[in-house]
Amino acid sequence: MEFKMQTRKLEFYYGKVRALSKITMGIEEHQITALIGPSGCGKTTFLRLLNRMNDVISGTHLAGDVLLDGQNIYAPQVDVVEVRKRVGMVFQQPNPFPKSIYANVAFGPRMLGLNNKAKLDEVVERSLRAAALWDEVKDNLGKSGMLLSGGQQQRLCIARVLAVEPEVILMDEPCSALDPLSTLRIEELMRDLKTNYTIIIVTHNMQQAARVSEWTGFFLLGELVEYNKTGEIFQRPKDKKTEDYITGRFG
């Protein structure tokens, strides 16, 4: 079985401090993989390694491999911009640019050189529809993205990612700043999206992991303690630490 993404003995250091130790993990295509664990366990750091977002932070280094379709994204000849185009990211805090809704969604394609107005219109509409936002904003595409509600902003950020047509979408606690109703909408959206995309989500919310994901990885102190089918993890955890965490004994 070929994994969409795979890490092999992945280690990551902030200066001399080791944040991740030897993470080996395979991500199945067209499935949702949830990463859970207490704050500071390294799950967000791990997620950001999958599209080289940690390159931005100075004084860090890594060891091991991250493979996308079998190719190491940290290999010297690899173009980081190309990696990020194929592996999109949605952040914890909805972060639309201080631009119009249209400009937000068109941003990625424009950066990649698409300037044809008709084609951009089409991409914007398709992406907003796919992110289940089109009906709410179609008459106000010129309005600033900052004026939308939190849940709408997050769906706008998802639309923005979809416009680039990535293969994998990373979501870093995408619902932690949202109310329950908006959270539900995003979760529905994730289920729709997995037909075409591979999704990896970091979440603090274990019910969310149980609700949306096929696979769950439990992180603790920089280690991947247990990784299995979501049902197995929540019903028959093999590791005592996993069991303690999901039953709420700590964390």
Footprint of other proteins on 110-149 (CB under 8 A): 110-112
Footprint of other proteins on 150-179 (CB under 8 A): 157, 160-161, 164
CA–chain centroid gap for 100, Å, is 24
Q: Which stretch binds other proteins (CB under 8 A): 51-59, 67-75, 179-187, 201-209?
A: 51-59
Q: According to the binding rule CB under 8 A, does residue 107 interact with other proteins?
A: yes
Q: How far is the CB of 95 from other proteins (least distance, A)?
A: 4
* Structure letter (DSSP) for residue 207: H
CA Rg value for the chain: 18
Output 47 or 137, the one with its CB closest to other proteins.
47
Bridge partners, 200 (sequence order): 33, 170
> How far apart, in Å, do the first and last CA atoms of the chain sit?
34
**Among 192, 190, 125, 200, CA closest to 163:** 125
Token representation of residue 63: 């060891």
Q: What 3-state class would DSSP assign to 29? A: coil
Contact between 76 and 22 under an 8 Å Cβ cutoff? The reply is: no
Output 32 or 161, the one with its CB closest to other proteins.
161
Q: According to the binding rule CB under 8 A, does residue 89 interact with other proteins?
A: yes
Out of 15, 70, 71, 81, point to the residue binding other proteins (CB under 8 A).
81
**Among 131, 146, 71, 84, CA closest to 111:** 84
Q: According to the binding rule CB under 8 A, does residue 71 interact with other proteins?
A: no
Applying CB under 8 A, what is the total number of residues that bind other proteins? 26
Applying CB under 8 A, the residues found at the interface with other proteins are: 51, 53, 56, 58, 81-82, 84-85, 88-89, 91, 93, 95-99, 107-108, 110-112, 157, 160-161, 164
